[in-house]
Structure 1
Amino acid sequence: MTAPAPAPPLSGADAHDHHIAWPPAAFACRVLTPRTPSTSEPLLVLGGGLQSRHSWARLERHLGPHHRLLIPDLPPARSPGQARSNLTWDDLTHAALTVADQLRIDRFAILAVSSGYPIGYRLAQQNSNRVTRLMLFGAAPRPSPRLAALIREGLRREATTAPPASASSRRRTAAQLVDVLTNTTAAAEHLLIKAAARVMLDQLNASPVDPLVRYVFDRGSLLLSDPLPTGGLAGIPTLVGVGEHDTTTTVEDNRAVAATIADCTLLVMKYADHLLHLERDGDFAAAINLFLNDKPLHTLPHSTAEILR
């Protein structure tokens, strides 16, 4: 396998940023509209920690010409130096719903990845009359012990009055975070996994702030408190997907989340880790497209699909 090439310029769709006026914190939403008419409902994309509305170039290339995409920059759960209270999962769920409301979209599908999944799950749970399909990738009932320990270290570090971290210290922290969020053993055998982890490391190294504190402020701190809501989910076609080598949210973690959803399909993608949208962007987009069009997932190469009832 070769390393993923840079995503080419977007074609077949027009992209615009929209201002979402949501108290307590306004934010931007990137909207892609196909140049040819589409009959499918818009797809609301809820990324994970440290991702922004500009993190989905590969998905845009594959899906933008066929589906309207809504990619919000939801506000961080915590903001240093601001007096407002910390945001909760329900707050961020309301922020995501505000995107659809202000863009005057009645019905929509949801793609929620990693720490975006608790928001997507709640949004579907609370708005079953508006959500047509739900796709969760990289979901877990709770963070892994290694990730939970790293989050607690980030909270401790954020609470100290020490001087800002040096560039070398930030690089060490970035490497530590990537080591926890990716499978380094699998990366030694699969170049696409290694390349995706390198992309993540380069992005974290480019940050002027401590990447761990940034991760905790973004949404990491919320992972310690009930990412999977109670009550389950029914009545919405749902796909839960995971890479076979994912150690951040394991296959069994995703299976446990899928078990709380009636008639859910569990998709396991081979030769993949946690960063599916980078490692296997074509197959990742193909799975989404098949599911949105109610087509069988068994045609997807190097993957297994299992219906849980």
Structure 2
Amino acid sequence: MPEETVRSLSVDGLRYSYRVLHRTGPAAGEATGSPATQVTEPVLVLGGALQGMLGWPQMDGRLGPVTSVVTADLPGMGSAAPLPPGPSADLLCAAVTRIIDDLDVPRVNLFGFSYGAALAFRCAQRNPGRIARLLLGGVPAHISPAQRAHWRSATDRLAAGDRDGFATLVTEALMCLDPDRYVARRDLAYRYVRRTMLHAVEHSPHAADSVHRSLGDRPDFSGGLSGVPALVFTGEHDTVTSAERQRAFAATIRGCRFTTIRDADHWVVLEKADEVADLALRFFTDRPLEPAGYLRSVPHQERAADRSTA
């Protein structure tokens, strides 16, 4: 069985914890010649607002043989202490830095998805020297007024005690339900996401606050970034923020590559879990992305990103 460690930390008096699944394959000094055995930096995964430390089994399975996988219940998530009122980006970045310090490593590979992409991007901007590589997925770089109105309707349902209605509206906001666009495992993903949202509001003390915070504490994707190898990916049918807008965001990161994954929407990490894990493995081990058949026009997109950030 892989060795797993859970450690507790605090930031500004708020208790939280992180989990380390220690490398299951050969150590770097015992490498057999395969490039995949040469990763020395752990991978720190930051997920959506309602995703905690136990929600990434596909990353454990694919990345575990080559590096340690770190997940967290940051303040305001899972079993951690609730966040105080007001903007939380600075505090959460401090919490991530504490994890890196506690790991006693100079740098980590950072993977941020959805809400976690905003946090990962902010952390990389503030302390690029601590980030070896940056992988961002499902980046909510632009949320329209109509989307915010939909989310407010969901929170109104929750405030009125209608948990089922809340779970339905949130799921609809996060998925592409257009029958003319094919999304793999759409029905299964819909049922899973809705059940997950319902479970969160029934069992997590922070679920309602997390949803309200996602409306009020708007992520900032401005300012650009340089000095950190980066890749942005999305499901080709992401309706939270379109692939085109995410490509435009990727162009603000110098040298960043961008790609889409076929037949998936914002919940690409669920609908195409193996493909996302494989993409992460390729990126964090500096292997070519091009041979992956699940990607959409990777070489052209990489060249476009390179031109726009030169």
TM-score w.r.t. the length of structure 1 is 0.84
- Unpaired runs of 5+ in structure 2? 29-37
Partner residue of 2:288? Answer: 296
1:116-265 correspondence runs (5 A):
116-153=116-153, 165=161, 169-185=162-178, 189-209=182-202, 215=207, 217-218=209-210, 221-222=213-214, 224-265=216-257
Partner residue of 1:67? Answer: 67
Displacement of 1:298? 0.9
Question: Root-mean-square deviation (CA), in Å?
Answer: 2.8
1:4-153 correspondence runs (5 A):
13-35=2-24, 36-38=26-28, 39-40=38-39, 41-76=41-76, 84-153=84-153
- Cα 1:140–1:189 shift into 2, 3 Å: closer
Q: Distance in 1 between matches of 2:200 and 2:279?
A: 32
- Cα 1:42–1:207 shift into 2, 3 Å: closer
Displacement of 1:223? 5.0
- Cα 1:145–1:227 shift into 2, 3 Å: same
SS of 1:185's equivalent in the other structure is coil
Moved more, 185-194 or 29-38: 185-194
Aligned residues: 288
Q: Tell me the amino acid that sits aligned with residue 8 of structure 2.
A: H
Deviations 1:107-143 (A, max 9, x none): 1110000011111001111111111100000113232
Moved more, 35-44 or 89-98: 35-44
Displacement of 1:150? 3.4
SS of 2:228's equivalent in the other structure is coil
Displacement of 1:224? 4.4
Indicate if the aligned counterparts of 1:173 and 1:210 stay in contact, CA closer than 8 A.
no
Displacement of 1:288? 0.7
- Cα 1:225–1:83 shift into 2, 3 Å: closer
Displacement of 1:53? 0.6
SS of 2:259's equivalent in the other structure is strand
Q: Distance in 1 between matches of 2:203 and 2:60?
A: 29
Q: Distance in 1 between matches of 2:123 and 2:133?
A: 11
- Cα 1:93–1:172 shift into 2, 3 Å: same
Q: Distance in 2 between matches of 1:188 and 1:206?
A: 28
Q: Distance in 2 between matches of 1:207 and 1:76?
A: 13
- Cα 1:94–1:187 shift into 2, 3 Å: farther
Q: Tell me the amino acid that sits aligned with residue 37 of structure 1.
A: A
Displacement of 1:64? 1.5
Q: Distance in 1 between matches of 2:198 and 2:180?
A: 19
Q: Distance in 1 between matches of 2:9 and 2:264?
A: 34
SS of 1:21's equivalent in the other structure is strand
- Unpaired runs of 5+ in structure 1? 1-10
SS of 2:128's equivalent in the other structure is coil
SS of 1:184's equivalent in the other structure is coil
Deviations 1:12-65 (A, max 9, x none): x32221112222311111111113314421111000121111111122122122
Q: Tell me the amino acid that sits aligned with residue 19 of structure 1.
A: S
Q: Tell me the amino acid that sits aligned with residue 193 of structure 1.
A: R
- Cα 1:204–1:83 shift into 2, 3 Å: closer
- 2:264 is the counterpart of 1:268: no
Q: Distance in 2 between matches of 1:83 and 1:115?
A: 15
- Cα 1:223–1:67 shift into 2, 3 Å: farther
Partner residue of 1:7? Answer: none
Q: Tell me the amino acid that sits aligned with residue 200 of structure 1.
A: V
- Cα 1:226–1:177 shift into 2, 3 Å: closer
Deviations 1:204-251 (A, max 9, x none): 22345499x955522652454441343210111100000011101210
Q: Distance in 2 between matches of 1:141 and 1:192?
A: 25
Q: Distance in 2 between matches of 1:273 and 1:204?
A: 17
